[in-house]
Amino acid sequence: MLLLDDDPQYDPEYDALRAAHQDRHGLTIAYLKKRVGEGTEYANEVARAVLSPLGGYYQLAEMPEEFAGAVGGGVTHRLVGDGEAWETLRAVQALVAGVAQGTSPVRAVSLYVLYAGGSLRARRRMFVFDQPPGGPPFAHGAWQPETLPRFLKLRLDCGDGVSPVALGLPQGVLFFLAPQGRDDGRSLLATLARTPATQDLGTRPAPTMMN
């Protein structure tokens, strides 16, 4: 994910970084979209997802290059009510707390959560947590435990000796998409299994966010 300030005086290279990211991954995104096909679309003001029998993907509305997708049998999804949505959020919160405290020795975790009115680009109403392999954890923003987010994306690599079942979370990419008002009130919960067919094109937090 590209986490840089909207103010060009803060980091004038923001647009150049985005353009380079789009150039690097544009063909991959187009290819995966074509492989997945039309499918069923789920969307709100923050993100959209398309799922079909052939695969699935998501991308952010304000940053379409923030994309993850896969083809094949490793893609699963279902619509969930508030109870299962909160259960998933509590499992994610417990994972983040365990990694931050050093009690959950997973290999790598990358998470961002966008609340109503949230923006990765403007760094507004969001929470980001990143634990790269072999590196220190990094967090930005505020987790809002009493607020259902509009979108959440988790990338989890448990490594050896840690069971994703014990964590209550899948290994690979999980994303949560809250419904629009016109929907039936259920949220989308989807998983892209950690396989060679999975493409997670989000970048790491920018160095300016690490200070």
Q: Per-residue DSSP letters for 128-190?
A: EEEE-TTS--EEEE---TTS--SEEEEEEE--TT--HHHHTS-SEEEEEEPPPTTS-SPEEEE
**DSSP-derived secondary structure letter, 6:** S
Q: What is the largest CA-CA distance in the chain?
A: 46
126-158: pLDDT as tens digits: 999 999 988 888 999 999 999 999 999 999 998
- E strand or H helix at 41: strand 40-43
| Confidence at 210, pLDDT banded by 50, 70, 90 | very low
DSSP letter at 159?
-
**Which helix (H) or strand (E) covers residue 60, if one does?**
strand 55-60
Nearest to 22 by CA among 71, 64, 79: 64
Question: What is the distance between the alpha carbons of residues 161 and 183, in angstroms, rounded to a whole number?
Answer: 41
Whole domain around residue 164: which residue ranges?
Answer: 1-211
Task: Select from 69, 65, 95 the least CA-distant residue to 158.
Answer: 95
Predicted confidence (pLDDT) at residue 179 exceeds the cutoff of 60: yes
Per the model's pLDDT, the better-predicted residue between 208 and 176 turns out to be 176
Q: Is 20 left (phi over 0), alpha (psi -120 to 50) or beta?
A: alpha
Give me the count of residues in the chain. 211
Q: What's the mean pLDDT in 10-14?
A: 51
Identify the three-state secondary structure at position 77.
strand
Share of the chain above pLDDT 70, in %: 78
Domains: count for the chain: 1
The C-alpha atoms of residue 187 and residue 53 are separated, in whole angstroms, by 19
First vs last C-alpha separation in the chain: 17
- Residue 207: its pLDDT value, please? 33
pLDDT at 20: 61
Tokens matching residue 129: 């947590």
Beta bridge partners of 126: 114
* For residue 11, pLDDT beyond 60: no
